[in-house]
Structures are given as C-alpha cells and as structure tokens.
Structure 1
Amino acid sequence: MRLFLMYLKSRLAVILFFLTLLSVLCVVYGLYGLPWGPAFYTCILIACLGVLALSLGFYKFQRKRKGLEFLKKQVPYFEGFPQPGDPVEQAYQDLTKLLQSYANTREGELRERENTALAYYTRWSHQIKTPLAAAQLLLQEESLDREALGRELMKVEQYVEMVLHYQRLEGDGKDLVLREYSLEKIVNQALKKVAPLFIYKRIQLRLGNLKKAVLTDEKWLVFIFEQLLTNAVKYTRQGTVSVYLQEGTECTVVVEDSGIGILAEDLPRVFEWGYTGGNGRLDKRSTGIGLALCRQAANMLGHSIRIESTKGVGTRVYLCLTHEQIEIE
C-alpha cells in the first residue's frame, strides 16, 4: 500500500489533470443545459481509462523497482542498467555512469597512494634501523665517540623529518606560508643541518652570491635544499659541493657536486618514487624517496627542478624558484 501511495504521489500532476478535465466537462454541460446522462457516462469512461492507465503505470513502476532492487544485490557483478524508459531516466543513468567512472578513478588513485605509502613506510622502517643500531653500538663502547653518535642521530632526525614531510605532502593541507624570504638565509639553514656530513667527509663547500629574495615557503624550501645537499655529500667521496645562482636566469639555484655522477639511463627516472638506480644499489641505505619528495614539494610551491649529470664527473641540480603555477588543493 505504501508503495502504491508513493506511485500516486509521483503521478499527482497527471491525476490532477484528469480531475480538472472532468470538472471542465461538467461545467460545460451545466452551462449549456445539456442532459447529465451523457456527461455522467463520459466521466465514468474517462475515470475508467484513467484508472487503467494508472494501473498499467503502477505495474511498470513496480516491475522496474524490483529490477533495480535485484541490481542492488548484484552490485559486485553489475553489468549495466536496464533499458531507460524516457530521456530523463536516460540522463540519470548517464549521470550515474559518470559518477561511477569518477569513483573508480578515485579508488584507483587512493589504492595507488596507499600502496606507495605502504612501500615507503616499509622501506623507511628498515632504513632507520641502521643509524639506530649504530648509535646503540656507540653507546656500548667504553669511550663514547660523540662526533660519530651525533652523525647517526642526525641521520635519524633526517629520516624522521622526511617521513613528516611525506605525510604533509600526502595530506589535504599543505600548511604553506608564502612570502618573500632571503635565499641566502634559507640555504644557510639547510647547510647548518647537514654541516656534520661535510665535516666528516671533508668535503669543500663553495657558496656563490645568493643575496636574492624569493617568493616561497621557508620550511619546504629548506627541506628541498637539505635533501639536495645531503645527496651531494653522500655521493661525493672527495672534492667540492657548490651552491650558486645560474648566470642568465632570473632565479635558478644550482647545487653542483664533483661526485660519482648518475648513469645516463637512470637520469629520466631519478624523480620516480622508490627508484634508486645504480647508485642506490651501491648505497644500500638509499630509499629512492628524497628526490621524489623534492620534485613534489617544488611543484607544490610553483618551482621546478631538473638534473644534469655525467658518470664519474659530477651532478648539477637546477632548482628554478620563479613561479609557474602554485599547486592548490
């Protein structure tokens, strides 16, 4: 009964039209003084036709509803909608298909992000064990090597900061504070964090004229420079790491090292998530995440990053700090 009342409600406009038609017919007969017998039979005929039409409509309505209820139970094996009965129903089906396609796309993206995150956290959990184990061994020695312990703790701190930045990038809010900052001060902040690596490996540092104001987010840009400088020192056995502004450009910073370089076949993939390449296979501690985070952060800030390298000669990383388009979500 409730279903029938719902159907009548959906056909209320048609019912009102029939009732109005009957009322007009009665008014016309009354105004012209015509016999009420034919009017009565006409009203009965129209009412019967109306009831028949409503009954057939309700039958189709109930049949279609049962079909939809059956489809609801077959959602995992859903193959398609039934034939639409009118253009409006066709439009609803098209809209539903578009929403389904969008949902499938989003589901695929979320599943991919989840798999990427799981792979990263798994690798990260194994990587952070190395400096922690080294620090534990140092603490067990009779004569504590504070310098060595400091280096291991710095590595732990870098791993923790990396995973925190990864979580911020994956989250909805990027916590950006965009304004003009001194490029020289930002680079110096990053250098202060990685200074123990330079000292330990006795790598020479050369700084060019970095007196430039840049529109960026200080926290994220410091993170990018810290990653680039750490990589430069990590893959430089001896020599120099240089940071300077590229000549002839508005604001492109170059981080150059005289390290082992990158294989030509690895260059197109160095910014991919989890890709370590030939150098990463030599350095078992490489996660293949640092440069990927750098590019993602740079894109978010409206900056761009690229790499040039020659195996056995060195690597140049170009960080363009001019704005193309800031990524906003």
Structure 2
Amino acid sequence: MPFSAVFASLWRHRFGFFFWLGSCSVLFLVYGLYGLLWGPAIYAALLNTFLAAGLWAYAFFRERRDLLCLKNAADQIPYLPPLPENDSWEKAYKNLALALEAYCHDTLSYANQEQEHSAQYYTLWSHQIKTPIAAMRLLLQENNNRYAFEQELFKTEQYVDMVLQYQRLGSPSKDLVLKEYLLEDLVRQAARRVSILFIHKKIALHLGPIPGKAITDEKWIVFVLEQLFSNAVKYTPSGGKVSVSSDPENPASLIVSDTGIGIRPEDLPRVTEWGYTGCNGRLENRSTGIGLSLCAQTLDMLGHSMRIQSQLGAGTQVFLYFSVK
C-alpha cells in the first residue's frame, strides 16, 4: 500500500484530526487548570485516540475498496483509458468523469455525422431512383425496347441493393461469412450480374489470369466488384474495354482497368470521400459520390485495401488487395 495514499487520506480527513487534537488539548487543559489527577485524562485521551484511529482506518479502507471497484469497472470499458494506480478517490472519479464526457462527446459527434450522412444519402437516393422508374414507365408505353427496359430495371435493382448494403454497414451485425474463395469465381459472379450494362453500351470485358484465392465475404466483395464495374462502364465510351487481372507479384489481388475518361489528379485523392463527386460526377450529373465510399468502407471492414490510379483521358485502374489469413 503506497504511503502517498495514506497521506492523501489523512489530508482528506484533516478536519477530523484537528477535532481530535483540539478535544485532547481541551481535556488536558481542564485537568491541568483544576489540578486533577492525570490518570483519567490520559485514559480518556487514549480512548479518544483509538476511536479516532479506528474511524479513520475504516474510512481509509472503504475508500480503497471503492477506488479499486471504480478502477476495475473502468478497466472493463474498452473506450476508457486506464486509471493510474496512485490516484486518490476524487482524482480517479474526476478522470473517469472526464473520460466518460469525452466518450459521450465523441459518440454524439459521430451520431450527428452519421445522421447527416444518412439524410444526404437518402435524399440523393430518392432523387436518383426516380430516373430509372420514369424511364421504365416511358419504355412500357413504347413497348419496343426490351434491352433498354432491362437496363433501367437493373439500375433500379442496383440502387435498392446499394441502400441495403449502406444500412448493413451501419448495423452492429454485418452478417459476415468469411471463407476462402477463388477470386476468379467472384469476378465472374459480379460480371454476370452487371453484364447487361456491358451489352447495352457495347463495352468488352476482358478477364486476364486470376489464379489467387482470398479469405473474404462473398456477398460484400461481389457488391464492391459490381460498383467498380458499374463505374467503369459509366465513364467508358461505347466500344471501350474493361479488364480484370491479378498482380503477378501478389496473386491475392485484383486490378480493374478501363479505357474511360480517367480522373483528374486533383480529384483522385478524394474519390473515396463521402459525397465527393469530382469533375466527372458533375459532368455526368448522375453521380452521388457514395459508391466508392461504400466500397472503401466495405473493404476496410473486411480487412482488405484499395488503391486507385488514373490518367485523364487514358483510363483508370483500381487495385484491390485481399487477406489470405
């Protein structure tokens, strides 16, 4: 038991100490003034001393017990810093209160930010989904272009799937099933789901050697690949090409390349920021700036990483690096 804790406890109970000292002094003063025998005075003073010491010891060990309980409770809360061992009760309580206040402030700021993101996203999504719905209504009236109708229906399904994935990202349970998959199988699955976009725009999809495997979640990674394919088709002119291959030096990787319009250098560092559309998004007037952000969040959740490089007018390459353990 550190002496600093004993001294701190004595200082906190200094008024009791002064009361004990004063009472003993008055007792001896009275006995001295009246010339009484000192035996009863010494006996009363000793009794008073033992009583004061007992009360102080009880208060001291009770404070130590409560302080240890407080520190044990703080250690079980992962977001709180550990409390120093030599802290007094008041200081430990103050540190814990400050830590809780900081945590509540950070939690509230995060909740407000998420609420703002959600409001922005659902506003954009509600306007965005109106376009394919209106297009399907017109195509139903004309009844002469099945492929165009299927494309608009696919866009609607994509928007619905995107909002579902957005909701799952914000939930405590993200429904993860981590298994080892062949990367080529995942690429082919995503390519089949977006094939109508390639067909409608007459864009070729070339699959290079993809020998690697990765431990990932099938549903989430196919969602990421669909987003990358959709972006590649959106910003690649008709007759262009999208290629998928692996890095020869890292089989647990994918490289999605296109021959599209590319990304401006000043936009490239910010393309995964929430709601950032960049110059290409403003030109297309259909971008929400959310697809790549969801991809980055999904890959981070799965323990994977993404890197993007692009040359304006020459195309874009997206590098995905997967976990193998």
TM over 0.5: yes
Q: Provide, for residues 290-310 of structure 1, a one-character-per-residue CA deviation record: whole Å limited to 9, x for no partner.
A: 111111111111111011101
SS of 1:100's partner is helix
Return the alpha-carbon distance in structure 1 between the equivalents of residues 196 and 92 of structure 2.
65
Counterpart secondary structure, 2:261:
coil
- State the SS of the aligned residue for 1:273: coil
Cα deviation 1:172-214 (Å, max 9, x = unaligned): 1111111111211111111111101111110011111223322
Summarize the alignment of residues 246-261 of structure 1 with structure 2, pairs less than 5 Å apart.
Answer: 246-261=247-262
Equivalence map 1:45-124=2 (5 Å):
87-124=88-125
Aligned CA distance change for structure 1 residues 212 and 90 (closer, same or farther; 3 Å): closer
Letter in 1 for 2:167: Q
Aligned to 2:217: 217
**Aligned ranges 1:4-15 → 2 under 5 Å:** none
Q: Distance in 1 between matches of 2:276 and 2:107?
A: 24
2:308 partner SS: strand
Partner deviation per Cα, 1:113-163 (whole Å, 9 max, x = no partner): 11111111111111111111111111222x342211111110000001111
Percent identity of equivalent pairs = 52
How far is 1:46 from its partner?
A: 5.4
Q: Which residue of 1 aligns with 2:201?
A: 201
Deviation at 1:38, TM superposition (A): 4.2
Q: 1:233-286: CA deviations, max 9, x gaps?
A: 110013111011122223221100000000010000000000000000011111
* Alignment correspondent of 1:312: 313
Instruction: Report the CA distance between 1:42 and its aligned residue.
Output: 4.1
Structure 2 match to 1:281: 282
Query: For residues 231 and 131 of structure 2, what CA distance do their matches in structure 1 show?
Result: 18
Paired residue for 1:299? 300
Using the alignment, how far apart are the partners of 2:90 and 2:102 within structure 1?
A: 18
Residues in 1 aligned to 2:208 and 2:321: alpha-carbon distance in whole angstroms: 16
Structure 1 residue runs of 5 or longer lacking an equivalent are 1-10, 19-34, 54-85, 325-329
Amino acid at match of 2:302: L
In structure 1, how many angstroms separate the alpha carbons of the residues matched to 2:89 and 2:247?
61
**Structure-1-length-normalised TM-score:** 0.72
- 1:290–1:201 CA distance, 2 compared to 1 (3 A): same
CA contact (8 A) 1:250 1:322 kept: no
Which amino acid in structure 2 is aligned with residue 156 of structure 1?
A: T
Distance, in Å, in 1 between the alignment partners of 2:275 and 2:233 is 20
Change (3 A) 1:289 1:323: farther
Mean alpha-carbon deviation: is it higher for 132-141 or for 162-171? 132-141
Q: Which range moves more in the overlay, 240-249 or 270-279?
A: 240-249
Contact 1:269 1:275 in 2 (8 A): yes
Q: Secondary structure at the match of 1:180?
A: strand
Q: Does 1:172 align with 2:172?
A: yes
Which residue number in structure 2 is paired with residue 81 of structure 1? none
SS at 1:250's partner residue?
Answer: strand
Structure 1: how far apart are the matches of 2:168 and 2:323? 23
| SS of residue matched to 2:251 | coil
Determine the C-alpha separation between the residues in 1 that align with 2:106 and 2:141: 53
In the alignment, which residue of structure 2 is the partner of 1:290?
Answer: 291
CA distance in 2, matches of 1:38, 1:311: 101
Q: Which moved more, 1:206-215 or 1:149-158?
A: 206-215
* Counterpart amino acid of residue 187 in structure 1: V
- Per-residue displacement from partner, 1:58-111 (whole Å, max 9, x unpaired)? xxxxxxxxxxxxxxxxxxxxxxxxxxxx93223212211111111111111111
Distance 2:108 2:316 in 1: 39
Q: How many Å separate the matches in 2 of 1:95 and 1:316?
A: 48
Please give the root-mean-square deviation of Cα atoms over the aligned residues, in Å.
2.9
Q: Which consecutive residues of structure 2, in runs of 5 or more, have no partner in the other structure? A: 1-12, 21-36, 56-86
* Pair 1:263-2:230 in alignment: no
Contact 1:208 1:243 (8 Å CA) reproduced: yes
**Matched position secondary structure for 1:209:** coil
Match of 1:155 in 2: 155
Structure 1 residue 229 corresponds to structure 2 residue 245:
no
- Going from structure 1 to structure 2, the CA distance change for 1:282 and 1:246 (only over 3 Å counts) comes to same
Alpha-carbon distance between aligned partners in 1 of 2:131 and 2:90, rounded to the nearest angstrom: 62
Where 2:105 maps in the other structure, the secondary structure is helix
